[in-house]
Amino acid sequence: MTDRFSFDLHATDGKARSGVIRTPRGEIRTPAFMPVGTAATVKAMLPESVAATGADILLGNTYHLMLRPTAERIAALGGLHAFMNWDKPILTDSGGFQVMSLAGLRKLTEEGVTFKSHIDGSRHHLSPERSMEIQALLGSDIVMCFDECPALPADRDRIKSSMDLSMRWAQRSRDAFGDRPGHALFGIQQGGLEQDLREESANALRAIEFDGYAVGGLAVGEGQEAMFGVLDYAPDQLPVDKPRYLMGVGKPDDIVGAVKRGIDMMDCVLPSRSGRTGQAFTRHGVVNIKNARHQDDPRPLDEACTCPACRGYSRAYLHHVFRANEMISGMLLTWHNLHYFQDIMAGMRAAISAGSFAAWEAEFHRQRAQGDI
Ligand SMILES: CNc1nc2cc3c(=O)[nH]c(N)nc3c(CC[C@H]3O[C@@H](OC)[C@H](OC)[C@@H]3OC)c2[nH]1
Ligand SMILES: [Zn+2]
């Protein structure tokens, strides 16, 4: 075990990299997919089930937890790890993104943002300082800077002024975070789809110095082509020896494309959220289990998958429990999706270490082109 936060690169294959992030609460194998546990739970999963899928780290969120049950209450109960019974690493987002996407009546100034809770309408305030305080109260191992993530499309002036604000807030986040051995603070690159603004943002963050760097401001409606266009240069603008975290991504082919371009960490609600709606991701493509064509199908979702849903249940059963709106439906499909996403990550880690990422990627795409699933 270690009392420090560190990142070791083990292998590269093209721009793809594999390695390990060491924290006092455990190691994170990279490239890593991080399940989203917004309100102190990965929905429909027990923590031990999340660990069983292969996840080394999960996510919590400042915005949701400050509203309910409040960061002070979680701190009084021993912190987020004890509260949610997860003793491995936790990364928390800083809250700015959710304020802009969920809260009402927002007022944004240089100092920070005031807003009304989407839960009960109460008034709240977030700033770099308050976000650092909340994330310290939660006790998260990896803390995200308080930033502003502009919605796309946006004109260049808006992107520039927003990025400049986020860089001033990054400095304030760094100052407020202080010196907390074993805890990491990640900066978040902004700049929209503008290469020069992203370069400016990367240089500003590098001058402040962070333990890791996120590529922010993406997966906000720009589409895969535009996102990959940014990822063709943005990771290389960031320090090579620190983890690179692409926020909010994504579908399986987004994830593979991001790792291919040098990303080490990703998060997305897709596997859990779509699992609850009956959408299963498999190596042959997506299966919408509520579709009537599955009602007599004795096969598992994915013959090659070793998760509890695929080992113990038929498509016919999964179809039935979704149609009957039974609670086990969301549990089984969420578990399968998270397990499959971790399978993809494990496959890429092994391929990068073996220098066979290109072959692995070709097989990944060939399997998905098989049509009827
Ligand atoms: C979906 N596309 C997407 N693009 C994003 C871009 C940014 C960004 O530039 N800055 C910040 N601070 N957050 C972002 C986020 C939110 C991720 C969080 O959102 C929550 O998932 C819904 C989860 O919270 C547990 C996660 O925690 C890191 C993004 N999400
Ligand atoms: Zn499965």
Amino acid 70: pLDDT: 98
Rounded distance, CA 269 to CA 169, Å?
26
Model pLDDT for residues 222-269, shown as the tens digit of each residue? 999 999 999 999 999 999 999 999 999 999 999 999 999 999 999 999
Rounded distance, CA 224 to CA 253, Å?
9
Measured in Å, residue 247 CA sits from the centre of ligand 1 at 5
Q: What percent of the chain has pLDDT over 70?
A: 99
Q: Which atom of ligand 1 is nearest to the CA of 96?
A: 12
Q: Backbone phi, then psi, for 10, in 5-degree steps?
A: -95, -45
Q: Is residue 155 annotated as part of the catalytic site, yes or no?
A: no
Angle between helices 327-354 and 315-323 in degrees, nearest 10 = 130
Amino acid 372: pLDDT: 54
Amino acid 14: pLDDT: 98
Q: What percent of the chain has pLDDT over 90?
A: 94
* Ligand 1 contact via 35 beta carbon (within 6 Å): no
Q: What is the largest CA-CA distance in the chain?
A: 60
Rounded distance, CA 80 to CA 74, Å?
6
pTM over 0.95: yes
- In this prediction, residues 297-311 reach a mean pLDDT of 97
Amino acid 103: pLDDT: 80
Residue 193 clears pLDDT 90, i.e. is over it = yes
Model pLDDT for residues 278-294, shown as the tens digit of each residue? 999 999 999 999 999 99
* Ligand 1 contact via 38 beta carbon (within 6 Å): yes
| Cα–Cα distances in angstroms (integers) from residue 81 to residues 62, 90, 184, 217, 359, in the given order | 14, 8, 16, 28, 39
Name the residue of 93, 169, 198 to mutate for ligand 1: max ligand atoms within 8 A of Cβ: 93
Of the candidates 61, 144, 159, the one whose C-alpha atom is nearest the C-alpha of residue 103 is: 61
Model pLDDT for residues 149-181, shown as the tens digit of each residue? 998 889 999 999 999 999 999 999 999 999 999
Measured in Å, residue 161 CA sits from the centre of ligand 2 at 45
- In this prediction, residues 345-355 reach a mean pLDDT of 98
In eight-state DSSP terms, residue 22 is E
Q: Backbone phi, then psi, for 296, in 5-degree steps?
A: -120, 10
The model's confidence at residue 20, banded by pLDDT at 50, 70 and 90, is very high
Model pLDDT for residues 76-114, shown as the tens digit of each residue? 999 999 999 999 999 999 998 998 888 888 999 999 999
Per the CB < 8 A criterion, the answer to whether 119 and 67 are in contact is yes
Residue 194 clears pLDDT 60, i.e. is over it = yes
349 vs 101, more confident:
349
* Ligand 1 contact via 100 beta carbon (within 6 Å): no
Model pLDDT for residues 356-365, shown as the tens digit of each residue? 999 999 999 9
Cis peptide before 128 (omega within 30 of 0): no
* Ligand 1 contact via 247 beta carbon (within 6 Å): yes
Amino acid 24: pLDDT: 98
Q: Which atom of ligand 1 is nearest to the CA of 218?
A: 4
Amino acid 3: pLDDT: 87
Long-range CB contacts for residues 194-203, cutoff 8 Å, separation at least 24? 194/156, 194/159, 194/160, 195/230, 195/233, 197/156, 197/159, 197/160, 197/163, 198/230, 198/233, 198/234, 198/237, 199/237, 200/163, 201/163, 201/166, 201/167, 202/234, 202/237, 202/238, 203/237
First vs last Cα of the chain: how many Å apart?
44
Amino acid 26: pLDDT: 98
Amino acid 101: pLDDT: 86
In eight-state DSSP terms, residue 292 is G
Check 56, 211, 267, 343 and give the catalytic one: 267
Match 């075990």 to its residue by tokens: 1
Measured in Å, residue 105 CA sits from the centre of ligand 2 at 42
Measured in Å, residue 276 CA sits from the centre of ligand 2 at 14
Amino acid 371: pLDDT: 55
Check 13, 56, 93, 211 and give the catalytic one: 93
- In this prediction, residues 121-147 reach a mean pLDDT of 98
Q: Backbone phi, then psi, for 41, in 5-degree steps?
A: -160, 140
SS3 at position 250: coil
Ligand closest to 218 (CA) is 1
Written as one letter, the residue type at 332 is L
Ligand closest to 289 (CA) is 2
Per the CB < 8 A criterion, the answer to whether 21 and 6 are in contact is yes
Rounded distance, CA 360 to CA 279, Å?
24
Ligand closest to 283 (CA) is 2
Amino acid 370: pLDDT: 66
Amino acid 354: pLDDT: 98
Amino acid 57: pLDDT: 98
Q: Is residue 232 annotated as part of the catalytic site, yes or no?
A: no
Measured in Å, residue 366 CA sits from the centre of ligand 1 at 30
Amino acid 151: pLDDT: 85
Rounded distance, CA 245 to CA 334, Å?
23
| Cα–Cα distances in angstroms (integers) from residue 239 to residues 76, 84, 94, 255, 344, in the given order | 37, 33, 22, 21, 26
Per the CB < 8 A criterion, the answer to whether 355 and 12 are in contact is no
